[in-house]
Amino acid sequence: YKPDILVVRSTAVSGKMINAVPGLNLIIRAGSGYNTIDIETASERSVYVSKCPGMNSIAVAELAFGLILSIDRHIPDNVIQLRNGKWNKKEYSKSRGIFGKTLGIIGTGRIGKEMITRAKSFGMHVWAWSRSLDPEKAENLGVKYCGNPEQAASQADVVSIHLALTDDTRGLIGSAFFDAMKPVAYLINTSRSEIVDHEALKKAMDEKDIWAGLDVFENEPAVSAGEFKNDITINKQLYGTHHIGASTKQAQSAVADEAIRVIRKYINTGKPPNCVNLMERTPVRFMLSVHHRNRVGILAGVFDIIRDADNNVEVMENIIFEGAEGACARIQIDGRMSNDDLDKIENSSADILSVAQVELV
């Protein structure tokens, strides 16, 4: 079986897998993160990689708030003692409550915005930091602007992480961040485990009585069920879940609908939405604008002249005007065409109407 399109959830897609399917054209990650897909190999093989962003935002925000409330009211411990036949109302009547407390949000994408909405419903104040956030945007969101993650950490009673994993965010939540946090504050991470320095977190839990609610862990099992041992999970100041942030029936249905939309769009247009491995801009410096009649073989002759001039076509778009008689080819090339070559293109066919070369800036 040799698919044209591959849809995956948490399954890792290695370079070996991509190379094993010569006809593969599109990989769809049925979710937001795509760090489990070998993007470099996919790009080398000209395979599109698309994602389904934002479909699980509400589900993740719901779990994040569930972890906040679980820590504050010690809900898991209540349940365990009840199941063990114990009643301990006195012990579990010491919760602080979250009304009027401050939530620090790290990352104000779709999930972060859902967290803001829920925090306000609980009567919390919100301080936020994100690379894309500025004071004006923060005001529009109704939150206090933080110039860096540590500022948010210093203000918050609860910090919730909602960042994509990139080279810039890997290990971002480290010693400096935990040093800035208030003692006995809560850290919630439902994004990616690699964003948090777990050694620094364990130190903060020991030295500053920080509580953590985690849905993501280092060295998670690749299977859906199995043994899992991690020294942080035995800490009594940790409440954890099994990487289930996006795993509600509502979210999974929304992701499935989006994956189908991506497939249909690709089949109908050849251009998949939400593609993550296309260059925003190629390094080309010149573009040819060739106005021509919409006739068979016109552009073949143009490409021959570009090739003979030892230039490579990097990006090309051919626009058809109303009535399908006229067209304009916009051809981005990696080098300047000489005036003689431009004349060759213009004179290569009576159906070439005009040729212009533009230097891109």
Of the three residues 269, 301, 323, the one that is the final residue of a domain is 269
The answer to whether residue 242 scores a pLDDT higher than 80 is yes
The answer to whether residue 283 scores a pLDDT higher than 90 is no
Burial degree of 159 (CB within 10 A; 0-12, 13-18, 19+): buried
As a whole number, the mean pLDDT across the chain is: 95
Q: Which two tokens stand for residue 60?
A: 């993740």
Q: Quick check: is 87 in a domain?
A: yes
- DSSP assignment of 327-359 equals EEEEEEESSPPPHHHHHHHHHS-TTEEEEEEEE
Give this prediction's pTM.
0.77
The answer to whether residue 222 scores a pLDDT higher than 80 is no
* pLDDT at 282 (0 to 100): 83
Q: For 134-139, what is the mean pLDDT?
A: 97
Q: E strands within the chain?
A: 5-8, 26-29, 48-51, 102-106, 125-129, 144-145, 158-161, 186-189, 211-214, 238-240, 286-293, 313-320, 326-333, 352-359
**Total domains present in the chain:** 3
Q: Quick check: is 280 in a domain?
A: no
| C-alpha gyration radius of the chain | 27
Q: Which two tokens stand for residue 311?
A: 């230039």
Spell out the residues 6+ positions from residue 112 whose beta carbon is closer than 8 angstroms to its own.
105, 106, 128, 130, 162
**In this structure, are 225 and 259 located in the same domain?**
no
* pLDDT at 284 (0 to 100): 87
**In this structure, are 42 and 70 located in the same domain?**
no
**In this structure, are 28 and 88 located in the same domain?**
no
**In this structure, are 228 and 162 located in the same domain?**
yes
**In this structure, are 72 and 104 located in the same domain?**
yes
Q: Summarize pLDDT for 61-110 with one digit per residue, the tens.
A: 999 999 999 999 999 999 999 999 999 999 999 999 999 999 999 999 99
The CATH number covering residue 46 comes to 3.40.50.720
The residue count for the chain: 361
Q: For 116-133, what is the mean pLDDT?
A: 98
The CATH number covering residue 346 comes to 3.30.70.260
273 and 339 Cβ atoms separated by less than 8 Å: no
**In this structure, are 40 and 110 located in the same domain?**
no
CB atoms within 10 A of CB 123: 11
Reported as a pLDDT band with limits 50, 70 and 90, residue 280 is: confident
**In this structure, are 78 and 194 located in the same domain?**
yes
* pLDDT at 88 (0 to 100): 95
Q: Quick check: is 279 in a domain?
A: no
Domain that holds residue 31: 5-55+250-269
Burial degree of 312 (CB within 10 A; 0-12, 13-18, 19+): exposed
Q: Summarize pLDDT for 198-219 with one digit per residue, the tens.
A: 999 999 999 999 999 999 999 8
**In this structure, are 76 and 146 located in the same domain?**
yes
**In this structure, are 126 and 138 located in the same domain?**
yes
**In this structure, are 66 and 110 located in the same domain?**
yes
Q: Quick check: is 220 in a domain?
A: yes
Q: Known catalytic residues?
A: 192, 220, 243
Q: Which three-class secondary structure state does DSSP give residue 202?
A: helix
**In this structure, are 132 and 202 located in the same domain?**
yes
Q: Quick check: is 193 in a domain?
A: yes
Q: Quick check: is 141 in a domain?
A: yes
Q: Quick check: is 204 in a domain?
A: yes
Q: Quick check: is 278 in a domain?
A: no
Of the three residues 200, 234, 269, the one that is the final residue of a domain is 269
Q: For 123-127, what is the mean pLDDT?
A: 98
**In this structure, are 127 and 27 located in the same domain?**
no
First-to-final CA distance of the chain: 46
* pLDDT at 10 (0 to 100): 81
Q: For 20-47, what is the mean pLDDT?
A: 94
Of the three residues 269, 301, 333, the one that is the final residue of a domain is 269
349 and 303 Cβ atoms separated by less than 8 Å: no
The answer to whether residue 33 scores a pLDDT higher than 90 is no
Measured at the CA of 227, the angle between CA 224 and CA 228, to 5 degrees, comes to: 95
Reported as a pLDDT band with limits 50, 70 and 90, residue 304 is: very high
